[in-house]
A and B are shown apart, each in its own frame.
Chain A
Amino acid sequence: MNFSEVFKLSSLLCKFSPDGKYLASCVQYRLVVRDVNTLQILQLYTCLDQIQHIEWSADSLFILCAMYKRGLVQVWSLEQPEWHCKIDEGSAGLVASCWSPDGRHILNTTEFHLRITVWSLCTKSVSYIKYPKACLQGITFTRDGRYMALAERRDCKDYVSIFVCSDWQLLRHFDTDTQDLTGIEWAPNGCVLAVWDTCLEYKILLYSLDGRLLSTYSAYEWSLGIKSVAWSPSSQFLAVGSYDGKVRILNHVTWKMITEFGHPAAINDPKIVVYKEAEKSPQLGLGCLSFPPPRAGAGPLPSSESKYEIASVPVSLQTLKPVTDRANPKIGIGMLAFSPDSYFLATRNDNIPNAVWVWDIQKLRLFAVLEQLSPVRAFQWDPQQPRLAICTGGSRLYLWSPAGCMSVQVPGEVLSLCWHLSGDSMALLSKDHFCLCFLETEAVVGTACRQLGGHT
């Protein structure tokens, strides 16, 4: 594993272009575009204010930089550096900005979710969409970029509108049987829309593209409900993580539950491999002790190394006592992600924040559990193969694959990470720096296997 030099970064704004050729990153009010292979700076754009959000257009030709504080969006072209575009939302304000899938329209959500403005880069036309709902995930595009589903709220009722992205024509408009819709998500095949209700009620509804209600699922009542939802890349499964610490998998034929995965703190099944991160006691030399000791207690010392050990079952994982009388309690399944081949599902139970659970979807059972020394901040699957990268906010990167897992010392404290399309490299983002990490696939697997001593 090799690392690039460390570059400056602000607000964790660093993104690979969709075609995988470029890497955009922000430093204060400057946008830097680099070549992924050489890391040479290709373009450098200067915005009017500190950038708060960036997004590549789907064709990798444009980048939008949003400055929410000023209600401004600036768009830059990679091909024509002199080309510029500035959208000012004025007194209406701006809370969100995104590209339409064709890369020629920008959707700006005004403050208080008064409306969504669709700006076109091709024509002078401006479209407005009224009554967007202020919710976690109110806009979703199908993967082929044809349709957009938008959650709306009118007269205290939830609606979903489906638009055709090519001409922003309303295709379907229907009300949903929800108390307070929280999120919508298209299935990867673009034919089914999952709609889930607020966390106060466990309810998930599935709508066809033409607005028919396909199915409704509710696991229980009178308790906090859905926390996270994820479609499998094959559109076959819908994983629903909830506040009761369980993931329920629905199938795409009957939309009934196939199985539910509990996340108990005690693991007794001897078939399950539990990887436990253990700190290697560092050789205490005279020069080793840094002063002042960085972040004592919060996490492992950056200087110390860590490795995975296979814990012998039964294992009890560290749990967090949640404060239940506050909003957004730290319980339930907060993160879940399918591997690109749909074979694995990674989850995190928020009251066992140090552990990542990997489930075998083929056999519908728990496959492995990774317990870190500190709470898991983020994880992401390699886009090409079942390989999971995890970061905990420390100076280590953790990689899991079915063959085993390993921990790597990396420069900087990784708060977030982002895989390159090819799966050969990833960007490791820390508070004000980032670096690229290059993985030699064979070598990595080899070392992983060696480190684990042949354990699978």
Chain B
Amino acid sequence: MGDWMTVTDPGLSSESKTISQYTSETKMSPSSLYSQQVLCSSIPLSKNVHSFFSAFCTEDNIEQSISYLDQELTTFGFPSLYEESKGKETKRELNIVAVLNCMNELLVLQRKNLLAQENVETQNLKLGSDMDHLQSCYSKLKEQLETSRREMIGLQERDRQLQCKNRNLHQLLKNEKDEVQKLQNIIASRATQYNHDMKRKEREYNKLKERLHQLVMNKKDKKIAMDILNYVGRADGKRGSWRTGKTEARNEDEMYKILLNDYEYRQKQILMENAELKKVLQQMKKEMISLLSPQKKKPRERVDDSTGTVISDVEEDAGELSRESMWDLSCETVREQLTNSIRKQWRILKSHVEKLDNQVSKVHLEGFNDEDVISRQDHEQETEKLELEIQQCKEMIKTQQQLLQQLATAYDDDTTSLLRDCYLLEEKERLKEEWSLFKEQKKNFERERRSFTEAAIRLGLERKAFEEERASWLKQQFLNMTTFDHQNSENVKLFSAFSGSSDWDNLIVHSRQPQKKPHSVSNGSPVCMSKLTKSLPASPSTSDFCQTRSCISEHSSINVLNITAEEIKPNQVGGECTNQKWSVASRPGSQEGCYSGCSLSYTNSHVEKDDLP
């Protein structure tokens, strides 16, 4: 045993060190790498210990094993298994509690170790899979690298080939060029040779011709002859003239005359063309001036002086040119003036057009956000909508007319029967209901009509037709209303649009007029004001009073009612108190005050007018 112990001792001692470390470490960080390593190394040891334990304690060596264990445990820092001995002599007693505690602690330790082991194992697994993954990644990348390397090689190869080809082509091109050059040289040399040959041949030919000529022509060929019945006269009736120096000179003269004529003709044509072009140029210039001057007049004041001076220059030029009728001038003198002025104007025009372009682009950029600009499309849409509305209204009118007619006929029948059958009350009720319905409809219709008329100002024609219809309808309505139980359906029909309309219209007008008057006054219309002021001087007694009011009303009409007493004071000296009164009265309610004041002045002026004559 002793041997064994000695054998195990160094390992244990080393273990003890590590375990002590471990115990301290586990508390701090059980997952730290170092402790794990330690644990890994400790695992086989624990197994050994276990197997060791199986043969460790026997009946015989309980004492020794206990003591050994005690020793061991104490070395590990556990409390001793023995009870504290009182004396050295006495045999130490085994402390069960300590043993149990030790055991418990050992078990706890064991569990902890197991847990840690598990953790470590899972970690290990994870790491293993990570490793695998990384390895596969690595292999993939390696493959990629390989393929790309191969690709690169291929591309390089192709590049090389292309370069080779290019070089070849260059070579070919060069060769071709050389060939062309050579061929051209050959052509040239051949041409010269050909020409040379031709010349030689021609000379020979000429010689032969000469020979032939001598042979054929020189010896009197009897055959060469003209056999003519009688000579005919010349076409111009003249006789042939002898050839002399004179005729030669004449021929020359004639030739030059012809040439001169031709040149003169051409010159005339060119002059005409020139004149034509000048005219066009002049006209263009005039148009340009007329185009440029009005629209430049405004900017001339604010825009830089240069354009202004140019224009004045141009105008001056134009005057000059028109003064001395330019067509008679030779080209050189006119040309410069004309071209210069045209050039200047052209520059102005160009800059102007560019400016316009810029403006246009700006406008485009801004878009059509401006509220006051109604696009054509919108306008058309609006009119379309309105037209549709008109159509609908017309249809409605028609149906209503039909309904009314039906009703009228029904009424006729009903009334005759009612008189007899005494269903009058019920019928009345029903009619009343219908009447109210109609009224409502009418109201609706009126409302619609109003909105509609407001909207359809632009569509005067339709509106007129519509009004006519409305008038007729109103008339019918009216007639029906007044005489629904007496009128025949024919009578209703017989009513024309104009026969009864006038008085009805008058009625409307009359009813409107009184409405209008106060309305206009309330608006503080200038008409009323002018009346007022006109009437003022007629009554000096109340002039002050009126003046003040006119002043007030004037101000109120502009809706600026910040007139203070101080402001009014210089104007009116006499009626100060009243002035102040009025001003005060008018101040709080802008419209109300004004209205009251005006109405009052109005009545007053009437009174004055009445008084005056």
Contacts and interface: CB of A to CB of B under 8 A. Distances in A.
A421 B262 CA distance: 27
Contacts of B221: 90-92
Contact of A171 (B226, B233, B251): B251
Given A89-B224, A102-B235, A121-B228, A210 B255 contact: yes
A313 interface: no
A56 B49 CA distance: 148
Contacts of B243: 167, 169
Given A104-B235, A169-B243, A190 B258 contact: yes
Contact of B229 (A82, A88, A119, A189): A82
A90 B155 CA distance: 86
Given A146-B258, A171-B252, A210-B255, A123 B225 contact: no
B256 A92 contact: no
B247 A112 contact: no
Contacts of B199: 156
Interface in B236-281: 236, 240-241, 243, 247-248, 251-252, 254-256, 258-259, 262
Contact of A114 (B209, B232, B251, B258): B209
Interface in A217-271: 222
A137 B213 CA distance: 23
A302 interface: no
B202 interface: yes
Contacts of A124: 231
Interface string B194-209: 0100110011001001
Contacts of A89: 224
A123 B255 contact: no
Given A121-B228, A210-B255, A167 B223 contact: no
A84 interface: yes
Given A169-B251, A222-B187, A91 B229 contact: no
Nearest to A179: B195
Nearest to A208: B259
Contact of B234 (A83, A102, A112, A171): A102
A160 B216 CA distance: 25
A86 B240 contact: no
B251 A104 contact: no
Nearest to A114: B213
A85 B212 contact: no
A39 interface: no
Contacts of A84: 227-229
Contact of B240 (A58, A83, A88, A123): A123
A169 B231 CA distance: 22
Contacts of A364: none
B223 A90 contact: yes
A131 to B, nearest CB: 9
A155 B187 CA distance: 24
A202 to B, nearest CB: 14
A320 interface: no
Given A122-B240, A191-B258, A191-B262, A114 B217 contact: yes
Contact of A92 (B187, B198, B217): B217
B184 interface: yes
Contacts of B203: 156
A88 B224 CA distance: 5
Contact of B213 (A115, A122, A153, A210): A115
A386 interface: no
Interface in B174-203: 184, 187, 191, 195, 198-199, 202-203
Nearest to B215: A91
A260 B488 CA distance: 93
Nearest to A162: B255
Nearest to B231: A122
Contacts of B90: none
Interface string A57-98: 011000000000000000001000011111111111000000
B232 A210 contact: no
A213 interface: no
A77 B233 CA distance: 13
Interface in A92-148: 92, 102-104, 112, 114-115, 119-126, 146-147
A83 B230 CA distance: 8
Nearest to B201: A156
A378 interface: no
A87 B251 CA distance: 29
B226 A119 contact: yes
A112 B212 contact: yes
Contacts of B255: 147, 164, 171, 209-210
A114 B247 contact: no
A167 B247 contact: yes
A119 B225 CA distance: 10
Interface string A154-167: 01100000001001
Nearest to A77: B232
A209 B259 contact: yes
B227 A92 contact: no
B229 A85 contact: yes
A408 B591 CA distance: 95
Contacts of A77: 232
Contacts of B209: 112, 114
Nearest to B233: A122
Contact of B232 (A104, A155, A208): A104
B223 A88 contact: yes
B235 A156 contact: no
A372 B232 CA distance: 49
A221 to B, nearest CB: 10
Nearest to A117: B224
Contact of B216 (A102, A114, A209): A114
B515 to A, nearest CB: 70
A104 B258 contact: no
Contacts of B233: 122
A376 B196 CA distance: 39
A122 B247 contact: no
A59 B235 contact: yes
A147 B236 CA distance: 16
A212 to B, nearest CB: 10
Nearest to A190: B258
B223 A191 contact: no
Contacts of B235: 58-59, 102-104
Contacts of A147: 255
Contacts of B231: 121-124
A83 B229 contact: yes
Q: Which of B198, B247, B259 gathers the greatest number of chain A CB atoms within 10 Å?
A: B259
A46 B130 CA distance: 123
A87 B233 CA distance: 18
Contacts of A209: 255, 258-259
A87 B226 contact: yes
B240 A167 contact: yes
A243 to B, nearest CB: 16
A114 B229 CA distance: 28
A82 B198 CA distance: 50
A172 to B, nearest CB: 8
Nearest to A153: B202
Contacts of A171: 251-252, 255
Interface of B: 184, 187, 191, 195, 198-199, 202-203, 206, 209, 212-213, 216-217, 221-236, 240-241, 243, 247-248, 251-252, 254-256, 258-259, 262
Q: Top 7 A-B pairs ranked by shortest CB distance?
A: A90-B223, A90-B224, A191-B262, A85-B228, A86-B227, A156-B199, A90-B221
Given A122-B240, A190-B262, A209-B258, 19 more contacts: A83-B229, A83-B230, A84-B229, A87-B227, A91-B223, A104-B232, A104-B234, A114-B217, A122-B234, A147-B255, A156-B202, A156-B203, A164-B251, A167-B251, A171-B255, A190-B258, A191-B258, A200-B191, A209-B259
23 contacts: A83-B230, A85-B229, A86-B228, A87-B225, A87-B227, A88-B225, A89-B224, A90-B223, A90-B225, A91-B223, A122-B232, A123-B240, A126-B226, A156-B199, A156-B202, A156-B206, A169-B243, A190-B258, A191-B258, A208-B259, A209-B255, A209-B259, A210-B259
